[in-house]
């Protein structure tokens, strides 16, 4: 009994001592790395440190247990199973840490490089899922489980799963198609054929989320989005044009009206937010001859499509004020109505 207790106690003490030493070294190391990263101000360093902080605890304990088992006098079969368990735990923790680290670095790299690649939940999930599957296959190899029969079984069962989850798979592959085609990206302002419009918040494995200007979220299945007609106001660039129609009395001089509209538009480019000055405003006598007025169209450039409303509001106020100062009339709609007396209508018969 004493020998058995001694055979268990000594390895336990060794495992605990090694684990405590390694955990102490880990705490000191992470403290030094944290201060070093703070001095550098590097975001990537912080991401790596946060991703390894929790898994490193399991690694320290696993190393301690492994050494404790190595110095023990346990039967060989117990040592074999304990060692396998330790290997599986270490591989699992490394896999999870690698998946989280790769996902965070991927997001950070895309944000810093400003590449036209969407850092969506779907792309993030595919990257992490790939690493997790690789880790799972490695664990199966460590456990001595053959992968070939598993792949065969998955191939047979995959057909049944595909038929049962047809709608889910349609949405998944539609989301991948949207990401690869890059016709709709996270942050784009789009309008659906149903009239709903807003900014693309995220493209997940099943749905696309659109944040409307009313601060509500519209959730659309990826398969329906890929089949609908979508207007993307962020492609090929976010810059958009705003058009304002102004009607003036037929007694007005068109050249004077054109000069006034252009002057007010150029002045507004220096004073109105979101109104761009890199392209000169355009004034044209279009659509032209209306029922009651000369109809002009003033065209300016704005930063993005959502700026059209405020810019139109400010430009219309300025144009109305200037036309009144110049004595140019904005005519009201007119309609001539002819009335005939009952007697005249009878005589006409």
Which stretches does DSSP call E strand in the chain?
A: 189-192, 197-203, 207-212, 217-221, 230-232, 240-248, 282-289, 294-302
Q: Tell me: the pLDDT tens digits for 172-206? A: 778 878 877 888 888 899 998 888 899 998 888 78
User: Span 272-299, mean pLDDT?
Assistant: 87
Candidate from 110-119, 167-176, 200-209, 280-289 with smallest mean pLDDT: 110-119
Query: In sequence order, which ranges of 184-253 are alpha helices (DSSP H)?
Result: 222-227
Q: ∠305-311-312 over CA atoms, to 5°?
A: 100
Highest mean pLDDT among 82-86, 164-168, 224-228, 257-261: 257-261
Residue tagged 């810019």 (tokens):
311
Q: Tell me: the pLDDT tens digits for 322-343? A: 999 988 888 887 776 766 665 5
Cα 44 to Cα 51, 123, 325, distances in angstroms: 11, 20, 60
Q: Look at 324 and 127; give whichever has higher pLDDT.
A: 324
Highest mean pLDDT among 64-78, 123-137, 310-324: 310-324
Name 204's Cβ contacts closer than 8 Å, sequence gap at least 6. 120, 121, 122, 125, 175
Per cent of the chain over pLDDT 90 is 11
pLDDT reading at 37 higher than 80: no
Candidate from 121-125, 206-210, 343-347 with smallest mean pLDDT: 343-347
Gap between the Cα atoms of 257 and 21, Å rounded: 85
| pLDDT at 112 (0 to 100) | 61
User: Span 134-149, mean pLDDT?
Assistant: 74
User: Span 136-157, mean pLDDT?
Assistant: 69
User: Span 295-317, mean pLDDT?
Assistant: 90
| Contact (Cβ atoms closer than 8 angstroms) between residue 143 and residue 84 | yes
Per cent of the chain over pLDDT 70 is 76
| pLDDT at 122 (0 to 100) | 62
User: Span 253-275, mean pLDDT?
Assistant: 89
Q: ∠214-220-225 over CA atoms, to 5°?
A: 115
User: Span 285-293, mean pLDDT?
Assistant: 86
| pLDDT at 1 (0 to 100) | 45
Q: Look at 36 and 230; give whichever has higher pLDDT.
A: 230
Dihedral, CA of residue 170, residue 171, residue 175 and residue 177, to nearest 10: 20
User: Span 266-295, mean pLDDT?
Assistant: 86
Instruction: Name the nearest CA neighbour of 300 among 327, 274, 320, 282.
Output: 282
Phi, psi values for residue 281, rounded to 5°: -60, 150
| pLDDT at 162 (0 to 100) | 56
Average pLDDT for the chain: 78
| pLDDT at 116 (0 to 100) | 45
Name 45's Cβ contacts closer than 8 Å, sequence gap at least 6. 33, 36, 37
282-289 and 294-302: which strand pairing? antiparallel
Beta-bridge partner residues of 248: 294
């Amino acid at each position: 009994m004493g020998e058995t207790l001694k055979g268990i106690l000594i390895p336990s003490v060794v495992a605990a001592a090694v684990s405590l030493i390694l955990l102490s070294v880990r705490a000191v190391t992470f403290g030094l790395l944290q201060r070093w990263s703070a001095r550098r101000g590097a975001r990537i360093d912080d991401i790596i440190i946060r991703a390894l902080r929790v898994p490193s605890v399991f690694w320290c304990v696993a190393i301690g247990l492994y050494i404790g088992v190595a110095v023990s006098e346990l039967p060989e079969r117990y040592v074999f199973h304990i060692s396998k368990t330790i290997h599986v735990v270490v591989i699992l923790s490394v896999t999870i840490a690698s998946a989280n680290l790769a996902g965070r670095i991927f997001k950070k790299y895309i944000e810093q490089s400003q590449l036209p690649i969407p850092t969506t939940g779907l792309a993030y999930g595919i990257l992490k899922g790939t690493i997790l599957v690789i880790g799972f296959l490695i664990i199966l190899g460590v456990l001595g489980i053959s992968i070939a029969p598993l792949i065969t079984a998955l191939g047979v069962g995959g057909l049944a799963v595909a038929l049962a989850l047809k709608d889910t798979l349609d949405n998944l592959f539609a989301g991948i198609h949207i990401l690869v085609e890059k016709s709709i990206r996270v942050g784009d302002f789009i309008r659906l054929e149903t009239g709903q419009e807003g900014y693309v918040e995220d493209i997940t494995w099943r749905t696309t989320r659109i944040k409307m200007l009313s601060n509500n979220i519209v959730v659309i299945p990826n398969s329906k989005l890929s089949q609908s007609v979508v207007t993307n106001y962020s492609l090929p660039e976010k810059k958009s044009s705003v058009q304002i129609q102004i009607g003036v009395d037929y007694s007005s001089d068109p050249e004077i009206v054109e000069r006034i509209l252009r002057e007010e538009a150029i002045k507004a480019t220096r004073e109105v937010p979101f109104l761009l000055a890199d392209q000169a405003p355009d004034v044209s006598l279009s659509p032209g001859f209306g029922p009651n007025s000369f109809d002009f169209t003033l065209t300016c450039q704005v930063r993005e499509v959502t700026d059209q409303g405020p810019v139109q509001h400010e430009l219309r106020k300025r144009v109305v004020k200037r036309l009144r100062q110049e004595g140019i009339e904005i005519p009201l709609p007119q309609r001539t109505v002819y009335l005939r007396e009952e007697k005249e209508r009878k005589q006409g018969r």
